[in-house]
Structure 1
Amino acid sequence: MSDAVLMQLLRILADGNYHSGEELGERLSMSRTAVWKQLKKLPELGVELQSGRGQGYCLPGGLELFQRERLLKEAEPWQGDLQLELVLDSTNAQLMTRSANVKSGTVCIAEQQTAGRGRRGRAWVSPFGQNIYLSMLWQFEGGASSLEGLSLAVGVCVAEVLEGLGLNGVTLKWPNDVLVDQRKLAGVLLEMTGDPAGVCQVVVGVGVNWRMPIGAAQNIDQPWVDVSHLAEEQGVSGVSRNAVAGRLIAALSSMLTEFSSVGFSGFRQRWLSRAAFVGRSVAVSTAKETSSGVLLGVDEAGALLLDVAGGVQRYYGGEVSLRSAE
């Protein structure tokens, strides 16, 4: 059976209610045996399937699956190409491998990633149908030098979308983490292809914890929070997965258009107003050394400014790690 049939089955079960094998067979126009074969695939995706004698099958708590029409409506006025996938290795990898044949502004979203990545090669935990795995390809004319501070501008974009949905306390940790109360909520991964000195394509990957299953979270090695629990903590209702993803698409398209014209300078103050650890003692580690000092902020190019014994050191990203020293 195709992914389309499996997706149809998931959409029926997504309401969290019980559905009998007979009902599923009628709605999918297949035998109960064929339905059972499809149901057996759900645990392989990491989707919890519950069955009850005389009741049928259900997905406890339900799922909010991505809906193309809803995403397109939430993403207005963006009008690019949308690749909506069930399962793939990585949304970034999907666009990177096709970058030469993909239009600027194209978006790839998946229900699940099998090889999602964060910075420094770390795995990005990507359970099925729970979080947001989104990438947008954008073409730049000025090569790598025109991308200075881009990851920080993306962080601003993500923060503003979440704030627009009613969430409070969103902060940005240099260079690409989105936090609330020092718990990671979202992350950014940029990858470039093309001419480093001329026309190039950048894939902007954004991962947002929307509703992280506790079982999947066992593989996360730092404090984290998700949108659903954060909304509950703050008394915010109606923050849907489709709304977050759709509004991210619109905001990223707008941000990248602006960034192509003004660079990071147009986003620096917006980043600083949400910056985590500014004025506090931090430790910055590179492949060669670790330095401790007071975080001053970032310069016009997005470089981190660290006050070390009265002198200012600059860090430009790459294999750099920042943590609080307090």
Structure 2
Amino acid sequence: MTLRSLLSTLADGEFHSGQALGEALGVSRAAIWKQLKKLDELGVRLHSVKGRGYRVAGGLDLLDPQRIEAGLEDGVRARLGPIALALSLPSTNEAALQGSAQGGGGGRLYLAERQTAGKGRRGRTWVSPFARNLYFSLVWDFAGGAAALEGLSLVVGLAVRHGLMDSGVEGIDLKWPNDLLVDGRKLGGILLEMTGDASGQCQVVIGVGINVAMPDEVAAEIDQPWIDVRTAGGVSPGRNLLLAAVLNRLVPSLERFSEQGFASFRAEWEACNAHQGRQVVLQTSRVQIQGRCLGVDDKGALLLETEDGVQACHGGELSLRGLE
């Protein structure tokens, strides 16, 4: 018996006695008890009632590679490698980087039900409770090195936005360079990390986090306004179909980006730019720049109209916010 087998049985949200669980999974009640204790370590809250057994109130929407693959378009499925799914990881990006270092090919997808050290930009922690949101990293091969990757985070944001819209989520804006917002609150984020030759053949780990059904008990850990798919789009199709919808948009976008670069996406990105035409403040490690956001250039750099003229600002350790 594996812990995943026990989770799959409890996923229905119904009560299961220790004896019934042991019989269903072919192990002793003592073995079941040991596994149940491990669920608490994962952050899975068990409801126990004497005489009835154990349940996970509300059930669990567990990730399933077969269900994800069933939701993929044929061309997308053909471009993806094996899906690596873990119950818990420090971070999917870290797992993907390790896989790349060991010779894992592009197209490999890394998923986790929970991250214990999920990463956001600028060293922030990405709050990652068990089986509630989406945390995934996709490894993709690129030629041309770092120079050919300009604007990639914006393209990924567009693709994720389209996938979420296909799943019924409306009103999504994009915040340069890599956040998805609804009503000014963060729905998702993107973290890109490159490995390989900075001037030639390289791989990019595309890390994506999407808030799907954030539990109230972890909300206090989030240090900025946030929203989830459940709140923004009503009923979610489930995390497996939601992820498939995102991948169905992301993979073709990556192929198009490899051939055409960011310029062909520019107008589309500006049409959903959260700060288009607005006064903003851009904070770098050294200075603060205030101006009006004119959009982006053909390489994805942010264009700010300032007192000193139009400045093109490239990604990095930057923070952008609108002025009230």
What range is the shorter-chain TM-score in?
A: over 0.9
What amino acid sits opposite 1:42 in the alignment? L
1:191 aligns with 2:193: yes
Match runs of 1:225-264 below 5 Å: 225-232=227-234, 237-264=235-262
In 1: Cα distance, 2:53 partner to 2:277 partner: 58
1:224 aligns with 2:226: yes
CA RMSD across the alignment: 1.2
* Deviations 1:51-80, CA, capped at 9 Å, x for gaps: 112111011111100012110111232232
Preserved contact between residue 16 and residue 58 of structure 1 (Cα < 8 Å)? yes
1:310 CA displacement: 6.0
In 1: Cα distance, 2:285 partner to 2:195 partner: 24
Match runs of 1:17-166 below 5 Å: 17-77=14-74, 78-79=77-78, 80=80, 81-100=82-101, 101-166=103-168
1:295 aligns with 2:293: yes
* Deviations 1:220-274, CA, capped at 9 Å, x for gaps: 1111011112222xxxx35211111122223222111111000111211121111
Task: Give the SS at the match of 1:64.
Answer: coil
Preserved contact between residue 111 and residue 133 of structure 1 (Cα < 8 Å)? yes
What amino acid sits opposite 1:51 in the alignment? S
Preserved contact between residue 229 and residue 236 of structure 2 (Cα < 8 Å)? no
In 2: Cα distance, 1:68 partner to 1:292 partner: 46
1:98 CA displacement: 1.9
Moved over 6 A (4+): none
Q: Which runs of 5+ in 1 are unaligned?
A: none
What amino acid sits opposite 1:159 in the alignment? R
* Deviations 1:262-310, CA, capped at 9 Å, x for gaps: 0111211121111102111111000001111111110100000111126
Q: Which runs of 5+ in 2 are unaligned?
A: none
What amino acid sits opposite 1:97 in the alignment? Q
In 2: Cα distance, 1:217 partner to 1:190 partner: 25
Task: Give the SS at the match of 1:293.
Answer: strand
Preserved contact between residue 292 and residue 325 of structure 1 (Cα < 8 Å)? no
* Deviations 1:169-195, CA, capped at 9 Å, x for gaps: 000000000000001000000000111
1:144 CA displacement: 0.3
* TM-score of the superposed pair, with normalisation by structure 2: 0.96
Task: Give the SS at the match of 1:198.
Answer: coil
Partner of 2:306: 308
* Deviations 1:102-159, CA, capped at 9 Å, x for gaps: 1111111111111110111111111111110111101111000000000000000010
* TM-score of the superposed pair, with normalisation by structure 1: 0.95
Aligned pairs, how many? 319
Task: Give the SS at the match of 1:98.
Answer: helix
Identity across matched positions, percent: 50
Preserved contact between residue 276 and residue 293 of structure 2 (Cα < 8 Å)? yes
What amino acid sits opposite 2:107 in the alignment? G
Task: Give the SS at the match of 1:172.
Answer: strand
